[in-house]
A and B are shown apart, each in its own frame.
Chain A
Amino acid sequence: MLELTGTDAPGIAASKFVTFRRLLLAAIAVELWELLPYWADKPHFGLQRLLVWAATAAAVAVWWERLARPALAAVLAMLAVDFARAFPLNANHQYLELILVGLLLLPRPGDARERTLVLGAFRWLVVLGLFHAGLQKLLHGYYFGGEFLAYAIARNEAFAALFRWILPAGEIARLEGLQVAAGAGPFRVESWLFVAISNATWVGELALPPLLLWTKTRPPAIPLTILYIFAIEAGAREIFFGSMMVQLVLLYCRSDMNRRLLPVFLALLAYVLAMAVGWLPKWYFS
C-alpha cells in the first residue's frame, strides 16, 4: 500500500530526501521571520526572536549531513513549542510541518530503504490532503452554487481582487457590502463561469489524487496538480502552504525536480524574507 505512490532508485531517493529537508527548514525559518512582527507587542517576544534565530541557524546547518539530524530535532522541538502555544489557533499547515519534520527524523543516516519509506509517506500526504480538502467541500455543500466563493469575496480582499476578472464590478461591490448578520445575502452569483469555477475546485481536489496514484496518469497529473495549486493560491495567497504542497507533488517526479528548482524556491523564500524584514514592500503575498 505504501508503495502505491511510487518508489525511487536509492540515489534519487537520497537526493530527494536531502533537498526536501533543506527546503522545508528554510521555509519554516522564513515563516517564523514573517510572523515575528505579530509577537512584537506580546509577552515572550524575546523568546520568539530567539526561536527565529535558532530556526535560521538550523536551516543553514541542515545543509551539512553531519548536522542535519540535530538541526531537524531542534526544529521539531521549536515547532512543538510554537504549536502548543498557538493551540487551537494553529493553521493546518503547522500540523503538516510537524508531521513532515518528524518523519524526516525517522530514517537512520544513509539508510536508503528508510528514506524511500518516508518519501512514500510524503507522497501519500499530498493525495490525502487534496482528497480530504475536496471531500470537505463536497460535504459542507457551499460550492455547488458558489456560496462559499461569494462569501469569500465579501470577506477577503484577495478573493475580490481575483474574481474582478470575471464578475461585473457591481456584483463585486454588492458582495463586498454584505455583512455577517441575520438575513444578509444572498451569497450567490448569477454567472455560469463563477459556478463552474466553484465546482471545479472540489472536483479537481477529488479527481487529482487518483490520477497521481495511477502510474499511467501520473505524468500529466503532476503539472495539472501544480497548476491547480497555483490557481487556489491565487485566491488564498498562502505562500508557505502552497510552495510546500508543490514541493511534495514534485516528489512524484522520477528525477529530483525540487533540486532542479532549488534556486527558484530559494529565491522565492529570499523574496518573502526580504518582505518580512521590511527590505521590500509587501505585495501580493502579505
Chain B
Amino acid sequence: MSYRWKRLAVGSLLGAVALWPLAHHAAVRLWHLDPWRFFGWAMYAAPTPYIELHFVERVEGQFRVLQLPQELRAQAAAYANARVRWGELYPPHALARAIARHRPQADGLAIVVRRYVLDRATSRFRYEDRQYSYRLAGGDAIPIPTVGPPQAPG
C-alpha cells in the first residue's frame, strides 16, 4: 500500500473515531443502548443501566402476573443482560416464544421491560416501562404493536 493510501486510511479511521461518539450518543438517547459500552467515550458520563423484567399472561380471558418457571429463568437473565447492552434494538421476541412453548394454556403475553433512570430534575431514580405484547398460539408468540403508554394488560 502506498503512503497516499495509508494516509487516507489513517484519516478515515480518525474521522470515524471523531464522529462515532456522536452517533453513539444518539443511539443511547433513541434506543437506550448502554452508554458505557460500544466505544462512545461515555463511561462515567451516566449511571450504568438497570432493568427489570415483568411478565403478564392471559389465560381464558383473565390477566395474571406470571412468575417465570425455573427452566426459563436463566434465559430471562441472559436476555436482561443483553437488553441492558442493546436497549430497544433487542426486543424480547425469543424469550416470548420460549414462554409460549412452556405456557400452552395462555393465549396472550406481555413482557414489560422496566428501565431505571436517574432523573436530573429530582436527582432520584424513576422508571420507564416498555411493554411488548404477544398473541400466543400453537407454541408461538406473535408480536402485537403496543399503542399508547405502556400498561399491564387487563
Contacts and interface: CB of A to CB of B under 8 A. Distances in A.
Q: Note whether A and B form a binding pair.
A: yes
Interface string A176-220: 000011111111100000000000000000000000000000000
Interface of A: 1-2, 88-90, 92, 95-96, 99, 103, 106-107, 113-114, 117-118, 120-121, 124-125, 128-129, 132-133, 135-137, 139-142, 144-145, 147-148, 150-152, 155, 180-188, 236
Contacts of B31: none
Contacts of B25: 136, 139
Contacts of B18: 128, 132
B35 to A, nearest CB: 7
B50 A106 contact: no
A117 B6 contact: yes
A169 to B, nearest CB: 21
B127 A182 contact: yes
Contacts of A145: 120, 123
Contacts, number: 126
Contact of A133 (B9, B13, B41): B41
Contacts of A188: 123
Contact of B14 (A124, A135, A136, A181): A124
Given A89-B37, A114-B6, A187-B118, A137 B123 contact: no
B46 interface: yes
Contacts of A180: 47, 50, 116, 125
A149 to B, nearest CB: 9
A186 B39 contact: no
Interface size class of B (residues with CB under 8 A): 35 or more
Contacts of B58: none
6 contacts: A114-B6, A136-B40, A136-B45, A180-B47, A184-B124, A187-B123
Contacts of B44: 133, 137, 148, 152, 236
B98 interface: no
Contacts of A155: 47-48
B124 A187 contact: yes
B85 A137 contact: no
Contacts of B34: 88
Given A106-B6, A125-B14, A135-B21, A92 B124 contact: no
Contacts of B3: 113-114, 117
Contact of B125 (A92, A142, A181): A181
Nearest to B25: A139
Contact of A147 (B9, B36, B37, B118): B118
B122 interface: yes
Contacts of A120: 10
Nearest to B20: A132
A136 B40 CA distance: 8
Contact of B11 (A1, A96, A125, A133): A1
Interface in B27-85: 34-48, 50, 85
